[in-house]
Structure 1
Amino acid sequence: MQGKVADIVLTSNAVFTGYGDAPRTGAVAVAGNRILAVGTEDEIRPLVGPETKVLSYEDKLIMPGFHDFHVHVLLGSLEQQCINLLSAKSEEETAQMVKAYADEHPEYPWVIGFSWYHVHWDEKKLPHRSTLDKYIPDRPVFLFNAECHGAWLNSKALELAGITRDTPDPQFGEIARDENGEPTGFLYETAMALAKQAFEFPTERRISLLQGFLDHAAQLGVTSVGDMFPLVTMELGDLDMYRQFEEMDRLSVRIHFLTELDGDLEKPRKLRETYRSEKLQFAGLKNFLDGVPTTYTGYLLEPYADRLDTCGDTLIPKHVIEDWTVQADREGFRIRYHACGDAAVRLGLDCFAEAQRQNGARDSRHTIEHIEVLHPDDLPRFSELGVIPSIQPEHLASDTFAGHTYLARLGPERSRRTWPINSLQKSGATLAFGSDFPVVGLDPITELYRAVTRLHNDGQPEGGWNPEERISMADALRAYTSGAAYGNFREHDLGTLEAGKLADIVVLDQNLFAVEHERIRDTKVSLTMMDGKIVYQKEEE
């Protein structure tokens, strides 16, 4: 460090390095794209030269950049530019909202929307294509539901996708049909991929989509992401565009992307060799073990409390999942499995255990995504197998507490095992937080609020849903920074404020350790630095 001068110095009464359980007064010095030093202001003062920019933040919180471990970049970029339908209370209202959006955007060949949710409607039944046809008969419409595990299409979209009464259901998916066998317009799971032409965009829009995501992420302090290309057999990613942005020095978020685990490892081998930079990396393989409990597609060990004839099921036969896991693990790939139900979580752990038995133990950092309900017998297995629990706390508050679908789906006993964040942490597992954007918003502050309070937007239930699963603010921040960095094999470069690490730093406008819980969600980002460059700075009011 002798003789070096900082380009930028950030000072504050609240610097959270990622170590310890509270911030401290100090400063962070940055030179080039790396952290030069972290210490007291007296220790950092010799690094200040005549050209050094010194930014003083008083009581604002300086911390590592947020590392969102689970997003869908292209899908989220699209959601930012399309209509969000979550507020609609009926099928008719949803269609009217889509009509208004379509009229405002005649330039888009396909009308795309997000987040309608029939379980929130006054009549809690799935919609029909005829309602969309009434308002938009001549342009194709593709509307993701709130979970992105189903889509509502109009007749024009079905026509362009070639979906008729004679179209067979794809494996692990379903084309919903009426009593006469005609498609209703709702596609479950893998059936959505039949209409993937909706996501073929010209270059100008692809540029706009990615830049929109990068700008949004910078405003929220997100400096790294895990980008999940697979969406139930439909891959949505844009590596060519990512690479172009990186080459033009416009990639202001580090992207660690995953492609589909499907038994064919030729493509992943090439991706692993090709994408290895500090900003754009291949990070492994992903697939879906089940769906979601809301639509009874989550795979449970015991039948649903409100539908005793089903436990849900796997999206892929169990023996196929195990074979793919063992094969990919043997070649050194890391695997991340979507698993919401307790049976799906157990299946994923069983597959990872079998891979260890056949291939030997290694530092694989295999991951289970979501873990919305967990059987107690499987709790210690995460630590024992070195499996990372990847959790998105905002999912637990998808509705008011009293109206939460999971209370009915799981019943009182299993509801006590939902989103077992603290239990997993105490078991010795390394937590990694993310958002699952655009299933919910990208803002990490919301995720932190859920993790430390377990409260819904209505402030219920008192004390939080399963309050024993709350964690401290320090632990929540670590899950969103160093935990996610560890999950992506980046702990040597990212996740904490330390000399020598990449300068991905965020300043929040209030100290999260010093505010009441009800004020956490008021927090905004004052500054985002990625790779030593300021990519967002809030204008002073």
Structure 2
Amino acid sequence: MAQAAPDLILFNADIRTMDPLRPRAEALAVKEGRLTAIGRDDEIRALANGRTKKIDAGGRLALPGFQDTHIHLQDSGTDFSSSANLEECRTVEQFQTVLRAFAARRPDDPIVRGTGWYSGIFGAHNLDRAMLDAAVPDRPVLTYASDGHNAAINSKACEAIGLDASVADPENGKFVRDAKGVPTGLIYEDATEWVRRRLPKLPLDAYYDGVRFGQAHCNRHGITGVLDALVRERHMKVYCDLDRAGELTVRVRATAKVNPDETVEGALERLDALRRGFKTPMAQVHSAKFFLDGVLENRTAVMIEDYSDTQGGNAELFFEREQLRQLFIAFDAARYQLHVHVIGDGATRVALDDIEAARQANGAWPSLHQLAHVQVIDPADIPRLRELGVVANIQPLWARCEPSVTEVALPMIGEARGRWMYPWRTILDSGAPYAVSSDWGVSTLNPFAIMQVAVTRRPEYRKSNYPAFVEEECLTVEQVVRGYTTRAAEVAWRAEETGSLIPGKFADLILIDRDIFTIDPYEIGGTQVDLTLLGGREVHRAAGFAG
């Protein structure tokens, strides 16, 4: 029986399949969303008939679609589509100008929202309600830092929610206060959630639009799969509704947050309901999210030893130790992947200890539990990642000489521990499983800007004459690409159908405008994606690509 003609063929391409059995090819064929053949141009073109769509790659590099396994797709898409974008602001005056202009364009918004300010520049010394009042005095203002761990509100917002000196700090949160104990408007960690719940809510439609905005941004940068790093019921409703309507253009795995005030039974019951009740072919919950600490910028990262600067001290773990151990054991037994936020080396050690306890209680299984960020790790703990099969989910963009590193983090932890900040090459060389991700909207989701920093340890807008941050920890292009493809597919539990270009898998692939494996590494960040296919369907085509 003759093989049915493919729906689509791609030819005249330099295909890197990420399949060790057939690493390179020239052409491929797609039928009903899946790859059916891969090989030489003449072989694949012979399979086509008059109804087959034909794409001439023009010699471009083709790769599996990238997967970002730690990204806040829905929330960041919503933020950037409904808020003032403060990412480029580097002075108080710029911050105020952007916020003021945004408020003027949206006079009917009951609250003026902003997102993306840089906590390496803005903080208790220059960001408070008075600074925001000078930009928008007549409506509540809520602005988030790019890291999501800090926010700032103006006087109208403080009045609207009743935030004054009498209000105590919530658990795992802090209101920055002046000398009289009055909140300044700057808020840390879970205090941001306390504020958010008391201010006017966005309409549900804004989140559907946010996903549309965010997934289009992903597709333009070659991303076909994500792991949304913090979801609740609203997130999953939106994702599943969009999938049923045929509107999703990224594959979504999701991790649902477990709160420190929940019982083991209550948390399991809630996440089980999410996992059962919100599941479509393209969207589902697969992991439980735990924040063990905060960030160095606001001194909520948990270290093994106290901070090294003159202020000293340390942060407290966000969970009680025995409670955390029991939660890890219970969720591991229920076959959830654990997705654990760790910044300080103390939080990293606790996470490894309690994952080891879960393994001892329940036995080993291919969970690929993830530690997200791992900003600082004690070198004695690095071998444990491989031994326990724990994934280091890394964000290489942050490993560069920028104010948040050189002026904030390093003075806090000192030179000795600073050597083990973002030690990516050492972790990979240890044999630990890993994935590469962005944490968008904390920072850009552009995989090629991230890749350039990963292989140079310098900001993507700098060249080789700029200081590198611990240069011996540079990665290779191959390692980063695998961190976005085969490795990412494994940790998202979809390696059987995605991550490499092999017949039978989904035709999720990208064409890019340069060979990132051979060019000057300082040119990688400028890479443009000319075509993105999801299941053989075009979800992005650059204006200049006519293939």
User: For 1:70-115, what per-residue CA distance to the aligned partner results, in whole angstroms no more than 9, with x for missing partners?
Assistant: 0112221133222222333443542332122111122322211122
In 1, the alpha carbon distance for the partners of 2:178 and 2:21 equals 57
SS at match of 1:493: coil
**1:31 Cα offset (Å):** 0.8
Do the aligned partners of 1:261 and 1:286 also contact (CA within 8 Å) in 2? yes
State yes or no: 1:454 paired with 2:451: no
Structure-2 change in CA distance of 1:19 and 1:468 (3 Å): farther
Corresponding residue of 2:68: 68
RMSD: 2.3
State yes or no: 1:105 paired with 2:106: yes
User: For 1:25-68, what per-residue CA distance to the aligned partner results, in whole angstroms no more than 9, with x for missing partners?
Assistant: 41121111111112122332332121112212233110111100
In 1, the alpha carbon distance for the partners of 2:439 and 2:79 equals 12
User: For 1:364-389, what per-residue CA distance to the aligned partner results, in whole angstroms no more than 9, with x for missing partners?
Assistant: 22110001111111111111111111
In 1, the alpha carbon distance for the partners of 2:34 and 2:310 equals 55
SS at match of 1:119: coil
Corresponding residue of 1:168: 168
What TM-score, normalized to structure 1?
Answer: 0.93
**1:151 Cα offset (Å):** 0.5
Corresponding residue of 1:260: 257
Do the aligned partners of 1:453 and 1:463 also contact (CA within 8 Å) in 2? no
- Which amino acid counterpart does residue 228 of structure 2 have in structure 1? D
Corresponding residue of 2:248: 251
SS at match of 1:47: coil
- Which amino acid counterpart does residue 347 of structure 2 have in structure 1? A
Range with bigger deviation, 419-428 or 125-134: 125-134
In 1, the alpha carbon distance for the partners of 2:363 and 2:186 equals 44
SS at match of 1:238: helix
Corresponding residue of 1:205: 206
In structure 2, which of residues 309, 314, 334 is the aligned counterpart of residue 306 of structure 1?
Answer: 309
Corresponding residue of 1:358: 361
State yes or no: 1:496 paired with 2:493: no
In 1, the alpha carbon distance for the partners of 2:209 and 2:61 equals 32
Structure-2 change in CA distance of 1:208 and 1:157 (3 Å): same
User: For 1:290-345, what per-residue CA distance to the aligned partner results, in whole angstroms no more than 9, with x for missing partners?
Assistant: 11112221111222232462233322222222221112112222111100111111
Q: Give matches, 1:20-99, under 5 Å.
A: 20=20, 24-81=24-81, 82-99=83-100
| Over 4 Å off, 4+ runs | 20-23, 400-404, 460-463
Structure-2 change in CA distance of 1:329 and 1:132 (3 Å): same
Unaligned runs of 5+ in 1: none
Corresponding residue of 2:331: 328
In 2, the alpha carbon distance for the partners of 1:126 and 1:169 equals 21
**1:503 Cα offset (Å):** 1.3
- Which amino acid counterpart does residue 120 of structure 2 have in structure 1? V
Do the aligned partners of 1:75 and 1:236 also contact (CA within 8 Å) in 2? no
In 1, the alpha carbon distance for the partners of 2:194 and 2:383 equals 40
Do the aligned partners of 2:208 and 2:238 also contact (CA within 8 Å) in 1? yes
Corresponding residue of 2:516: 512
In 1, the alpha carbon distance for the partners of 2:138 and 2:239 equals 34
Range with bigger deviation, 134-143 or 521-530: 134-143
State yes or no: 1:242 paired with 2:239: yes
Corresponding residue of 1:445: 448
Structure-2 change in CA distance of 1:70 and 1:307 (3 Å): farther
Corresponding residue of 1:282: 285
Corresponding residue of 1:480: 484
Do the aligned partners of 1:371 and 1:419 also contact (CA within 8 Å) in 2? yes
Corresponding residue of 1:142: 142
Do the aligned partners of 2:400 and 2:469 also contact (CA within 8 Å) in 1? no
State yes or no: 1:430 paired with 2:445: no
User: For 1:106-156, what per-residue CA distance to the aligned partner results, in whole angstroms no more than 9, with x for missing partners?
Assistant: 2322211122235325x9715221222233222111111232111000122
Do the aligned partners of 1:342 and 1:373 also contact (CA within 8 Å) in 2? yes
Q: Give matches, 1:382-393, under 5 Å.
A: 382-393=385-396
Do the aligned partners of 1:284 and 1:335 also contact (CA within 8 Å) in 2? yes
- Which amino acid counterpart does residue 162 of structure 1 have in structure 2? G
Structure-2 change in CA distance of 1:249 and 1:332 (3 Å): same
**1:506 Cα offset (Å):** 0.8
User: For 1:475-497, what per-residue CA distance to the aligned partner results, in whole angstroms no more than 9, with x for missing partners?
Assistant: 11010111111001111011000
Corresponding residue of 2:295: 292
In 2, the alpha carbon distance for the partners of 1:116 and 1:209 equals 19
Do the aligned partners of 2:77 and 2:210 also contact (CA within 8 Å) in 1? yes
User: For 1:502-532, what per-residue CA distance to the aligned partner results, in whole angstroms no more than 9, with x for missing partners?
Assistant: 1111111111112111111111000011122
Do the aligned partners of 2:9 and 2:48 also contact (CA within 8 Å) in 1? yes
In 2, the alpha carbon distance for the partners of 1:415 and 1:389 equals 18
**1:13 Cα offset (Å):** 4.2
Corresponding residue of 1:120: 121
Range with bigger deviation, 104-113 or 90-99: 90-99
What TM-score, normalized to structure 2?
Answer: 0.92
SS at match of 1:98: helix
Range with bigger deviation, 465-474 or 304-313: 304-313
**1:403 Cα offset (Å):** 4.3
Do the aligned partners of 1:294 and 1:409 also contact (CA within 8 Å) in 2? no
In 2, the alpha carbon distance for the partners of 1:461 and 1:303 equals 35
Range with bigger deviation, 69-78 or 14-23: 14-23
- Which amino acid counterpart does residue 531 of structure 1 have in structure 2? G
- Paired residues, what number? 536
In 2, the alpha carbon distance for the partners of 1:461 and 1:416 equals 21
Corresponding residue of 2:223: 222
Structure-2 change in CA distance of 1:73 and 1:442 (3 Å): same
Do the aligned partners of 1:401 and 1:461 also contact (CA within 8 Å) in 2? no
Do the aligned partners of 1:12 and 1:58 also contact (CA within 8 Å) in 2? yes
State yes or no: 1:132 paired with 2:129: no
Structure-2 change in CA distance of 1:404 and 1:507 (3 Å): farther
In 1, the alpha carbon distance for the partners of 2:107 and 2:224 equals 34
